[in-house]
Amino acid sequence: MGVEASDEQVDSLFRIQEELGIEISLTINQLNIPVEIFYSKNDRVPGAFLNWLQAFYDRGLRSCTLANNHI
């Protein structure tokens, strides 16, 4: 908790998935949620989050766990 993977670490995980066939999973469970998520107008912040998540999906991510306070 409280640690974010570097770009190099993320790239390494995707290489492991591609080369070894071991599926990776993204876990988002930080406790401090930006207040903007709750009060954004026109779904601006949730939309940006989905676009961010889409980049992982486009690379092959198929499993993501979200903490209930993000939903």
- Distance, in Å, from the CA atom of 52 to the CA atom of 55, rounded to the nearest integer, reads 6
**Res. 3 pLDDT band, cuts 50 70 90:** confident
Amino acid 2: pLDDT: 65
How many other β-carbons are positioned within 10 Å of the β-carbon of residue 16? Answer: 13
What length is written for the chain? 71
What Å distances lie between residue 26 and 3, 42, 49, 50, CA to CA?
A: 13, 26, 14, 13
**Res. 17 pLDDT band, cuts 50 70 90:** very high
**Res. 70 pLDDT band, cuts 50 70 90:** low
How many other β-carbons are positioned within 10 Å of the β-carbon of residue 61? Answer: 19
DSSP-assigned letter for residue 42: G
Q: Report domain extents, the chain.
A: 23-70
Pick the more confident residue, 30 or 57: 57
